């Protein structure tokens, strides 16, 4: 009886030990399942996975992504996947499969592994996601090159279509599973593949369209997921290829038509500009560095490319100019109506206003004749200066300065001013034109309205812009006065001028200009004018050495020296008096303190 009880007790003890062991194993398995489920849920919610560490868990130790065994296992999977791709290639080369069937099977094989990457992303298995995506890219993208160049199964345009499908499939999986690594694998594989196919086939237009589309796709992918890094390489390659299309159109063989090159240039600009406009205007986000850089590059490519093609064809692209003016006007409308007054969108304000300025300048230059362009720019400069005087917004003063200076080029006013001040003309003297006088009046008005705010909110930049307007105005004014008076003061019977008398006239005009500028700088709103006094006196001295002592007679040299000496005495005194007046006005007693 005692032996039976002892055996029963022993059996119960063994059963109890077995139950405890089973409970421990079930606990470990449930903990492992919870840890695996947690990253998957985090991945679906867009949050980084936070695994729960459980000490002593052998299951978790085997799932460590940095474990050498796990890494080697992933590398082994990649090699096995590549082996399958090479097996299909060997079957095709041996003639067991026709090229069409073999390549179709290989593409299907690669797409299967893209599907497995998607499934691994759903489970939160990041290392497996990267391994499957990398293996799929190593199979399908080189296969596409061989299918086009070696087996001749696909044409250049057909390979661009297939490349688009493969790229979109991988980018979609990366976006869907929030896996940036898949997107980078797709971009780093697709861009070199497109360039190789472009070079091998010589078909550039379909791949240019593909690259523009991929660039915009990655831009929106960056908007959705915050992956801004992948936008840069795609945009750079798209820019380079569009420039390449332009160069091919300009080659002696005319490998691409002018219209096709121009269409690609403006497609690049429109695609990025529309995307940036949607994000900044509809979504109300501030413009980013990439957007500023890429839109600026697209503008340069479009307008410079159009200008080069226009020069080659001899046709004025008035239609493009009108489109540019329409977009520039829309940018001004957006700036004044939707962005002005929103302090949190200050970057957008300067982005769209600068874009409007560039588009309006380019549009008028392309669509309007030179003389009328100068008049329009002069008027716009005055309008911008008036708006600055009322609002004090720095970008309006910038636009005023740019428009005034821009008006000096088509009107030839800046060029004529330099010629009247420094040239030694031979032959009939040229008088200033009416357009130059219009630019002079506009410059004077712009300088007046720009000085309406003695203490501009823009600080040093505002003072610098006002000084630019004054310099342009003084330059044109001196040239116009010399040009108008030269025939009367230094004219000869053959309508040429005496160089000695002309040199004296130039000295007199510049000396009077220095005195007028020094006198005007006594007023606080013209304080920047004082910065021109000493540089102008130095210029007069250098001019006398180069011209007066070389061409003038004693009588005319006497007049020039007297005028210059008077300017050296009086102008600095006037300028010093202006400085004292401003210092006195700024003392506490002067302001009631």
Q: What is the pLDDT of residue 50?
A: 45
| Cβ–Cβ under 8 Å, residues 297 and 272 | no
Distance CA 378, CA 310 (A): 26
Torsion of Cα atoms, 515 then 520 then 522 then 528, to 10°: -100
Q: What is the pLDDT of residue 60?
A: 39
- pTM to 2 decimals? 0.75
DSSP-based three-state secondary structure for 525: helix
DSSP track, 428-487: SPPPPPHHHHHHHHHHHHHHHHHTT-SS-TT-HHHHHHHHHHHHHHHHHHHHHHHHHHHH
Place of tokens 């909110």: 457
Residue 410 main-chain phi, psi, to 5 deg: -65, -25
Q: What is the pLDDT of residue 570?
A: 92
pLDDT in tens, 457-494: 567 888 899 999 999 999 999 999 999 999 999 889 88
Q: What is the pLDDT of residue 408?
A: 92
DSSP-based three-state secondary structure for 425: coil
HEC string of 23-76? HHHHHHHHHHHHHHHHHHHHHHHCCCCCCCCCCCCHHHHHCCCCCHHHHHHHHH
HEC string of 402-416? HHHHHHCCCCCHHHH
Exposure on the CB side of residue 155, measured as CA atoms within 13 A: 4
Residues in the chain: 593
Retrieve residue 89's tokens.
């290639």
Q: What is the pLDDT of residue 39?
A: 47
DSSP assignment, residue 31?
H
Distance CA 311, CA 321 (A): 15
Q: How many CB atoms lie within 10 A of CB 65?
A: 12
Q: What is the pLDDT of residue 49?
A: 46
pLDDT in tens, the chain (593 residues): 555 555 555 665 665 566 566 556 655 555 555 444 444 444 444 444 444 444 344 443 445 555 677 777 778 888 888 888 888 878 888 878 888 888 889 889 988 989 888 888 888 788 888 888 899 999 999 989 989 998 888 998 999 999 999 999 999 999 998 889 899 999 999 999 999 999 998 888 899 999 999 999 999 999 989 888 999 999 999 999 999 988 888 877 666 677 788 889 989 999 999 999 999 998 888 999 999 999 999 999 988 888 787 766 665 567 778 888 999 999 999 999 989 888 788 899 999 999 999 999 988 988 887 778 999 999 999 999 999 999 888 899 999 999 999 999 999 999 999 999 999 888 899 999 999 999 999 999 999 999 887 665 567 888 899 999 999 999 999 999 999 999 999 889 888 999 999 999 999 999 999 999 999 988 888 888 899 999 999 999 999 999 988 888 888 889 999 999 999 999 998 887 655 555 444 444 433 33
Place of tokens 């005496």: 498
Retrieve residue 562's tokens.
């007297």
Retrieve residue 415's tokens.
């060029």
């Amino acid at each position: 009886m005692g032996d039976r009880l002892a055996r029963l007790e022993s059996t119960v003890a063994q059963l109890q030990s077995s139950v405890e062991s089973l409970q421990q194993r079930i606990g470990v398995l449930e903990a492992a399942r919870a840890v695996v489920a947690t990253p998957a849920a985090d991945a679906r919610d867009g949050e980084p996975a936070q695994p729960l560490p459980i000490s002593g868990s052998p299951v978790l130790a085997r799932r460590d992504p940095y474990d050498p065994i796990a890494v080697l296992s992933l590398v082994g999977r990649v090699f096995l996947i590549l082996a399958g791709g090479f097996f299909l290639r060997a079957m095709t080369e041996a003639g067991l499969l026709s090229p069409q069937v073999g390549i179709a099977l290989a593409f299907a094989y690669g797409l299967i592994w893209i599907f497995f990457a998607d499934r691994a992303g759903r489970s939160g298995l990041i290392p497996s996601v990267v391994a499957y995506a990398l293996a799929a890219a190593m199979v399908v993208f080189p296969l596409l090159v061989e299918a086009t160049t070696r087996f001749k199964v696909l044409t250049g345009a057909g390979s661009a279509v297939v490349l688009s499908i493969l790229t979109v499939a991988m980018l979609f999986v990366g976006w869907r599973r929030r896996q940036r690594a898949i997107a980078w694998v797709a971009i780093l594989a697709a861009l070199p593949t497109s360039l190789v196919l472009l070079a091998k086939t010589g078909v550039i237009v379909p791949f240019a369209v593909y690259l523009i589309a991929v660039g915009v796709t990655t831009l929106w992918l960056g908007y959705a997921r915050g992956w801004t890094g992948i936008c840069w390489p795609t945009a750079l390659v798209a820019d380079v290829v569009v420039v390449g299309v332009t160069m091919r159109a300009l080659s002696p063989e005319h490998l691409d038509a002018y219209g096709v090159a121009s269409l690609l240039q403006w497609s690049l600009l429109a695609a990025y500009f529309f995307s940036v406009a949607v994000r900044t205007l509809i979504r109300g986000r501030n413009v980013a560095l990439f957007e500023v850089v890429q839109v600026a590059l697209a503008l340069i490519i479009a307008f410079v490319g159009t200008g080069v093609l226009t020069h080659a064809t001899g046709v004025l692209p008035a239609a493009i100019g009108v489109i540019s003016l329409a977009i520039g006007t829309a940018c001004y409308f957006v700036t004044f109506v939707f962005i002005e007054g929103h302090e949190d969108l200050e970057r957008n304000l300067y982005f769209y206003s600068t874009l409007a300025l560039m588009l309006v300048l380019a549009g008028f230059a392309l669509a309007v004749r030179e003389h009328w362009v100068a008049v329009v720019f002069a008027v716009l400069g005055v309008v911008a200066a008036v708006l600055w005087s009322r609002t004090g917004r720095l970008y309006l003063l910038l636009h005023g300065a740019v428009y005034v200076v821009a008006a000096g080029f088509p009107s030839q006013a800046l060029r004529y001013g330099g010629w009247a001040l420094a040239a030694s003309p031979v032959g009939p003297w040229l008088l200033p034109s009416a357009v130059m006088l219009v630019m002079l009046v506009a410059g004077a008005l712009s300088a007046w309205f720009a000085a309406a705010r003695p203490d501009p909110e823009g600080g040093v930049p505002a003072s610098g812009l006002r000084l630019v307007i004054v310099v342009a105005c003084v330059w044109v004014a001196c040239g116009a006065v010399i040009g108008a008076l030269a025939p009367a003061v230094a004219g000869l019977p053959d309508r040429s001028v005496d160089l000695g008398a002309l040199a004296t006239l130039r000295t007199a005009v510049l000396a009077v200009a220095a005195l007028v500028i020094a006198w005007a700088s006594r007023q606080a709103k013209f304080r920047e004018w004082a910065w021109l006094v000493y540089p102008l006196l130095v210029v007069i001295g250098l001019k006398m050495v180069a011209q007066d002592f070389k061409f003038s007679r004693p009588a005319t040299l006497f007049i020039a020296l007297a005028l210059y000496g008077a300017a050296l005495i009086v102008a600095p005194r006037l300028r010093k008096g202006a400085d004292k007046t401003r210092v006195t006005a700024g003392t506490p007693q002067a302001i009631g303190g």
